[in-house]
Amino acid sequence: MNNKTFTVLMAEDNEHDILATKRAWKKYKIANPLYVVNDGEECLDFLFHRGKYSDESSAPRPGLVLLDINMPKMDGLTALRHIREDKKFEKLPVMILTTSKADEDKLKGYDLNITAYIVKPVGFDNFAEAVKTINIFWELVEQPEFSFV
């Protein structure tokens, strides 16, 4: 990603989807560091530097969050609501990447200012192409510098 390399935080509990994402990252030589957390609570801990993520070097500020909806402990939409309540994260790009096709979930996501709602394609090749497309999109996007102070 030339000068646009930034950390990507993925909140996902499905081990198959995590492995598929990592395989796609490697296949397409995506330069952005990928960090994975397994539920909404851990996502918030990562973002707010709490618990095992209190050391900022273990949890760099992401430039993009890929957020699943259906996760244990705290679902993605609840985590998103907490993210958006904090002024320093109100403009953080968050893309929902989920199996849910429910209009209710889409509406809730967009009401909470998600950047995009993507339904996970079935099969590794289709999923990997979606990951590649997301990467290409973010290579083209011009964003201001965000301050996470």
Question: In b/e form, how buried is each residue of 9-38, taking b as 16+ CB within 10 angstroms?
Answer: bbbbbeeebbebbeebbeeeebebebbbbb
| Domain boundaries 9-140, CATH class | alpha beta
| Residue 58's pLDDT band (cuts 50, 70, 90) | confident
Query: How much of the chain is helix, strand and coil, in % rounded to 5?
Result: 45, 15, 35
Across 14-43, average pLDDT: 94
- Angstrom distance (rounded) from CA 122 to CA 110: 23
The answer to whether the pTM exceeds 0.75 is yes
- With 60 as the cut, is the pLDDT of residue 3 above it? no
